Structure 1
């Protein structure tokens, strides 16, 4: 059955939104820490900046998801982009700890606001034009691929721009002189990210049209958010399929935390210096995002080949656990072939998580009504973030070597085994809520 032009247009717009929103974080990833330390901040202060970002994003995940379900996707998504624009300007130009802290807090708030509305808008639009049983996995996979590609491109561009400004005679010095020292080369990718975020806001307001929602007063909005959040939390406790999606998200968060915490130190130990280790880690991170994008692109094929979305999640998370296991068994060796195996394991983790993601999200959307869709995505994101934070604390207290990697592999494998058996209760999900009636076909 051919797709309607509206569905194809929605997919293109969703992919464009993913690129525009995730390119700025990629641009700022490589220069952020050197920029802060170049302005006299200690590593402890830099860790505090990132903690402010993470805690703000985690604290606002559920309220902002409820806000999107009550007010609408476009308004909340544009607000997230606007906050991110201001945040990147503050981080790019800020020279004091309080300005940088406030910038990271606003960045976390923008991240929380934008964590679910774009995907929720896409699903709502497809359901409106093709019915609640419409195929979602292809569009979700392309969105995940676009996100990974934008992050990878941003990392490469964000690392290359300051280097180019430094090696090309006169460019870096001319920039400092023209801005009276306010914009060093390391700040250029961050400020470029602010420009992209501003474009993102304009595109969202112009392109993401949605059906008008009932006019609500301020009090009605404030009353509606807690009820929507409570409904999202209840769904995770009473629905077995949603519960498995949330537990899988937590296992994914643990795996990503292990990669982000353990890989940089391992790269430094391998190369011998912090600078060369940072370059190696940037290259690995870029390769990881490329593999995640490739895995997302293969998500629909994997589900068809495996016979169902559930089996695709099982295969993807299992592959990721195998990659972590490979990193664990190679943790104490430095021979070239062993490093190649470790690199393959690193890429396998991202590839497996990319394969599992689209099927997980389609399964979630099949269970959640439109009125709670963004909240459910926020609950999923919160599970990932909290599990990642807890894993970071636990792994940070373990001795370096294979044990932290193997522990992370065990957690991700546990998430995969949740999908080994499919309870009969999951066979025919029933969607209820505003604008959703009847049953939808089994996800295959």
Structure 2
């Protein structure tokens, strides 16, 4: 059996894995939609590509979480990295709608595989080294901060590279001719993302040791994965604190969907031009990721200042809701003062969510054992994605102005109020795959 890593090494490697996984996604954020347009895709086709990604991720979220609990964290992370490698290659080089749709669907599968195993590996490793009462919040905060920092850096680089490649006499046209139009300047950040995914896979293989597991055949996997999923669903239904974490994740999804859907239009309105609005949005997205990283870094301090992780979640989600309400209040206002208030609201959303995340995940991990940890994280991710999708549909039918912002702010405020009183229910946990959940108190 491999000797468990010490806590500092586990924190460092977990933060590195988070950064390496999310940096490619950040690289693709800025050029992706424009690349689809450059390939001649219609808006309806592009919407279909994103739907393929979202539906694939949602459909596979729970099965892949159970797979991680049965097969191991490292194997599933490697699979996620390889799928992302294929996805970015297809998107970067694809010229037809079916290839691009396939790339986005494969990317959704990689996203589903990635939600949970790295964090579960970190918690498993720390508890194996220091016991079940080991301090988790600091490492979770560093991982979350590394994720946001990687997204911020990737967004900047992904937005700048096509512009830099377009400098000089017809450099972009020369690049296209040299590669038979397969590689456009907008393709380069996406293909660079594929290269980073190779580094991610190699790092996971070499730097994330985990205890040896009994070999699982196809029959065992087909039996244990559904049972683990059912146990996770029962846990969410029976345990008040886990239920709060899941509902809070849904509230965060509503808030993020509101900001991501409404901010590009707001930026275009402010600049008076779609192209310059896109540049402003890219800068705002980077600033949001930086604020999220700062909030995550401050999560342990927030828990100490408020006296508990639960109260820190309350304060963090409350701050995010306040930010959305500020954005609602300034949705139709003009002038420097309203812009300052809107910027403050935007920052508060990401700061608050960044500070709340590690604290609520710290509470979640103390509710589950390694046999169900990744499944619980997949449930959390699924709650966020489904609520984000529903919020997006609702925003699409609301009139422009404060109302869409108020919807996100109200949902996030409700999520914060869930933490206003202390849970008194017993603490159920996963035991063995195939067992029901039972009270641990």
TM-score (normalizing by structure 2):
0.96
Q: State how far apart, in whole Å, the 1-side matches of 2:7 and 2:276 are.
A: 46
The offset of 1:337, in angstroms, is: 1.8
Contact 1:35 1:186 in 2 (8 A): yes
Q: State how far apart, in whole Å, the 1-side matches of 2:180 and 2:329 are.
A: 52
Equivalent residue number for residue 352 of structure 2: 352
Equivalent residue number for residue 374 of structure 1: 374
Equivalent residue number for residue 101 of structure 2: 101
Q: Which runs of 5+ in 2 are unaligned?
A: none
Q: State how far apart, in whole Å, the 2-side matches of 1:326 and 1:440 are.
A: 43
Q: State how far apart, in whole Å, the 1-side matches of 2:341 and 2:167 are.
A: 34
Equivalent residue number for residue 390 of structure 1: 390
Contact 1:91 1:103 in 2 (8 A): yes
Q: State how far apart, in whole Å, the 2-side matches of 1:223 and 1:303 are.
A: 40
Q: Which runs of 5+ in 1 are unaligned?
A: none
Q: State how far apart, in whole Å, the 1-side matches of 2:248 and 2:88 are.
A: 32
Equivalent residue number for residue 155 of structure 2: 155
Q: State how far apart, in whole Å, the 1-side matches of 2:405 and 2:103 are.
A: 33
- Summarize deviations over 1:422-442 as a string: whole Å, max 9, x none: 03336xx4655259xx9999x
Correspondences of 1:40-439 after superposition (within 5 Å): 40-169=40-169, 171-425=171-425, 429=427, 431=429, 433-434=431-432
Q: State how far apart, in whole Å, the 1-side matches of 2:432 and 2:150 are.
A: 34
Contact 2:147 2:293 in 1 (8 A): yes
The offset of 1:171, in angstroms, is: 3.8
Q: State how far apart, in whole Å, the 1-side matches of 2:234 and 2:366 are.
A: 16
Q: State how far apart, in whole Å, the 2-side matches of 1:58 and 1:328 are.
A: 30
Q: State how far apart, in whole Å, the 1-side matches of 2:116 and 2:412 are.
A: 23
The offset of 1:289, in angstroms, is: 0.5
Q: State how far apart, in whole Å, the 2-side matches of 1:274 and 1:430 are.
A: 52
Other structure's SS at 2:425 match:
helix
- Summarize deviations over 1:242-285 as a string: whole Å, max 9, x none: 00000000000000010011111111122111111111111111
Contact 1:254 1:384 in 2 (8 A): yes
Other structure's SS at 1:420 match:
coil
Other structure's SS at 1:425 match:
coil
Q: State how far apart, in whole Å, the 2-side matches of 1:353 and 1:56 are.
A: 25
The offset of 1:178, in angstroms, is: 2.7
Q: State how far apart, in whole Å, the 1-side matches of 2:328 and 2:170 are.
A: 46
Other structure's SS at 1:213 match:
coil
| Cα-Cα RMSD | 1.7
- Summarize deviations over 1:131-171 as a string: whole Å, max 9, x none: 01100000000000000000000000000000001113464
- Summarize deviations over 1:188-229 as a string: whole Å, max 9, x none: 000000000111011111111100111221111111110001
- Summarize deviations over 1:277-307 as a string: whole Å, max 9, x none: 1111111111000000000000000001000
Q: State how far apart, in whole Å, the 1-side matches of 2:241 and 2:378 are.
A: 17
1:7 aligns with 2:7: yes
Which segment is superposed worse, 163-172 or 350-359?
A: 163-172
- Summarize deviations over 1:346-387 as a string: whole Å, max 9, x none: 111000000000001010000011100000000000000000
Q: State how far apart, in whole Å, the 1-side matches of 2:363 and 2:116 are.
A: 15
Contact 1:133 1:440 in 2 (8 A): no
Q: State how far apart, in whole Å, the 2-side matches of 1:410 and 1:5 are.
A: 43
The offset of 1:126, in angstroms, is: 0.5
Contact 2:68 2:76 in 1 (8 A): yes
Contact 2:264 2:281 in 1 (8 A): yes
Q: How many residues align?
A: 434
Contact 1:132 1:440 in 2 (8 A): no
- Summarize deviations over 1:71-121 as a string: whole Å, max 9, x none: 000001100100000000000000000000000000000010011100000
- Alpha-carbon distance change, 228 to 137 in structure 1, aligned in 2, over 3 angstroms: same
Other structure's SS at 1:167 match:
coil
Q: State how far apart, in whole Å, the 1-side matches of 2:105 and 2:194 are.
A: 15
TM-score (normalizing by structure 1):
0.95
Equivalent residue number for residue 26 of structure 2: 26
The offset of 1:64, in angstroms, is: 0.2
The offset of 1:5, in angstroms, is: 6.2
Q: State how far apart, in whole Å, the 1-side matches of 2:235 and 2:320 are.
A: 27
